[in-house]
Amino acid sequence: MSWYWSALDPSPAMIKHISLIIKKDAPRPVAAAKRLEEYLSGRDITITRETVSAKSQAVVVIGGDGTLLHVAGLAFHFGLPLLGINAGSLGFITEIMLDEMEPAIDALIEERFELDRRMMLAVTVKSEQHDDFHYFALNDVVITKGAMGHMITLPAWAGDSFLSSYRGDGLITATATGSTAYNLSAGGPIMHPQLEAMVITPICPFALSSRPLLLPSGHAVTINIDHAPEDISMVVDGQTGRELYEGDRVIIEKAKGFLKLIRSPQRDYFTILREKLGWTEGVKLDTA
């Protein structure tokens, strides 16, 4: 099936309502959004801006990976396919470039796209001081000390089994999708996004024996805040943060269902990996 929509194609559009999220105060996404609205004018497509509507049938993000992460939880919650259009350099999860936007949108509204099912994390913060808090994460959950604080100790469990009391600057729990984010910078492994797994990666650990640990998705990760002499915070997908207090317990587990992320027809995951990490610099690829 051709990726490009044809004006001669008599088949009606299947998707009639799109939630459009753009990176704010950035000229390229703003211009691209205007171009998209002009492109869709007269095609009976309803566009909701700046929020994810429960009435929409798909979510389109114009920006970068951070913009997509900002709305991934809502797209997942409503079960909507999510299309990421990158308005800067190629992203790991915003795979569509600006010059590919129109054909990608055509394929979206005519439902001619391929989906990646991306594992999500369900995060619960339990505390004696307040009601439970709940979050969804596509990339990672980071528990870390304050900027000027000393090392912190974080006891962690995998299911009912005690793992270790990690001592250092903090702890990352990441999905395969998030393995190329903070996890990679902290020395964690790269995981193919189709893997249903989590990786626990210590941040600047005190002990050299503290190494990243790969877990199957059926193991919930529990991290206790037993002793908090310094400021300790939790950040979800680099977007949502909250302070953690002594006695808090963070439970991280595989969420039910998957995020429906629309795949680029132009490049596969390994192509994106090579381009982002510079693996092809100075190398001539034999594509024959």
Active site residues: 65
The strand pair at 17-22 and 96-97 is best described as: unpaired
Instruction: Give the single-character DSSP code of 76.
Output: H
Q: Which of helix, strand or coil describes residue 95?
A: coil
Please state, in angstroms and rounded to a whole number, the distance separating the CA atoms of residues 136 and 254.
10
Q: Which two tokens stand for residue 52?
A: 């994810």
Please state, in angstroms and rounded to a whole number, the distance separating the CA atoms of residues 3 and 106.
8
- Which residue reads 């492994």 in tokens? 189
Angle at 252 between CA 153 and CA 23, to 5 degrees: 100
Strand intervals (E) in 188-265: 197-203, 213-216, 221-224, 232-236, 240-244, 249-262
Range 236-260 burial, b when 16+ CB lie within 10 A, else e: bbbbbeeebeeebbbbbbbbeebbb
Question: Cβ–Cβ contacts within 10 Å for residue 171, how many?
Answer: 25
